[in-house]
């Protein structure tokens, strides 16, 4: 193995935290409460069809697959050993599930009675559980099978260039939404390395914005340790 780059695990940690949070909220949710259900629906799939919402859970999952297919999978084909078409097919399956969940959520909000919403909420929760299982398995496959292949086939600089293209493609509000999940999901070593790299490569206002986000989202002991290791 030649390289050490891992473009997948840090962002996957954030997506896993997002999925666990969704799962926690859904299984404790009172679908009889229409106001709270509207809030839950907005967080889950607001504007999913036009993909405008920076914070929506299903948007984050869908964007992630698009970014991998645009910036990583094309060059990775050459070392993919047939893995890339399988991962793309999994993306299509995940996307079908996400659209179905978005449609079911719209339909649930149109129901007039609390008992109908409770029944539909149970079914929605079960569908999201199935999505969660499939998404977790997919991300693990990328980390276990694809990361080593990419380390063998490409230099860290080559993979860094793909990562740079992904970062540049992000609207700032979506980047901050994703980082609000990623930062608290990283361990202290990863956080220190991430903030150190940011400090070396990003303009000071960006470093400050991300540091402010970290201070707000990460527990204070871990954040302070990471800051001091990064020399912030």
Binding residues (CB under 5 A) for Fe ion: these are 68, 142
Q: Rounded distance, CA 7 to CA 70, Å? A: 14
**In the bound complex, what is the minimum distance in angstroms from residue 208's beta carbon to Fe ion?**
29
- Nearer Cβ to Fe ion (32/134): 134
- Nearer Cβ to Fe ion (6/142): 142
- Nearer Cβ to Fe ion (17/114): 17
- Nearer Cβ to Fe ion (134/207): 134
Q: Rounded distance, CA 195 to CA 210, Å? A: 8
- Nearer Cβ to Fe ion (38/92): 92
Taking Cα atoms as reference points, which of 9, 8, 15, 10 lies closest to residue 135? Answer: 15
Q: Rounded distance, CA 123 to CA 119, Å? A: 7
- Nearer Cβ to Fe ion (93/193): 93
Taking Cα atoms as reference points, which of 133, 135, 123 lies closest to residue 26? Answer: 123
**In the bound complex, what is the minimum distance in angstroms from residue 39's beta carbon to Fe ion?**
28
Residue 54 φ/ψ, nearest 5 degrees: -70, -35
**In the bound complex, what is the minimum distance in angstroms from residue 74's beta carbon to Fe ion?**
14
- Nearer Cβ to Fe ion (95/199): 95
CB 221 within 8 A of CB 190: no
| SS3 state of residue 222 | helix
**In the bound complex, what is the minimum distance in angstroms from residue 180's beta carbon to Fe ion?**
18
CB 162 within 8 A of CB 68: no
Residue 159 burial class via C-beta count within 10 angstroms: exposed 0-12, middle 13-18, buried 19 and up: buried
The string of DSSP letters for 34-56 reads: HHHHHHHHHHHHTTTTTT--SS-
């Amino acid at each position: 193995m030649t390289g050490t780059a891992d473009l997948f695990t840090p962002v996957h940690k954030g997506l896993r935290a997002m999925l666990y949070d969704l799962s926690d909220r859904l299984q404790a949710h009172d679908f009889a409460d229409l106001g709270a259900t509207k809030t839950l629906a907005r967080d889950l799939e607001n504007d999913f069809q036009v993909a405008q919402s920076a914070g929506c859970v299903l948007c984050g999952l869908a964007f992630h697959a698009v970014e991998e297919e645009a910036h990583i999978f094309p060059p990775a084909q050459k070392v993919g050993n047939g893995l890339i078409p399988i991962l793309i097919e999994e993306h299509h399956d995940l996307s079908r599930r996400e659209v179905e969940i978005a449609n079911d959520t719209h339909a649930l909000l149109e129901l007039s009675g609390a008992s109908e919403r409770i029944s539909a909420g149970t079914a929605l929760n079960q569908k999201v559980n199935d999505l969660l299982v499939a998404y977790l398995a997919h991300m693990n496959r990328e980390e276990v099978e694809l990361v080593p292949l990419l380390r063998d086939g490409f230099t860290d600089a080559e993979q860094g260039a793909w990562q740079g293209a992904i970062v540049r493609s992000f609207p700032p509000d979506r980047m901050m939404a994703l980082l609000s999940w990623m930062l608290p999901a990283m361990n202290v070593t990863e956080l220190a390395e991430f903030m150190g790299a940011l400090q070396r490569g990003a303009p000071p206002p960006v470093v400050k914005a991300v540091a402010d986000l970290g201070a707000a989202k990460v527990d204070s002991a871990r954040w302070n340790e990471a800051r001091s290791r990064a020399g912030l």
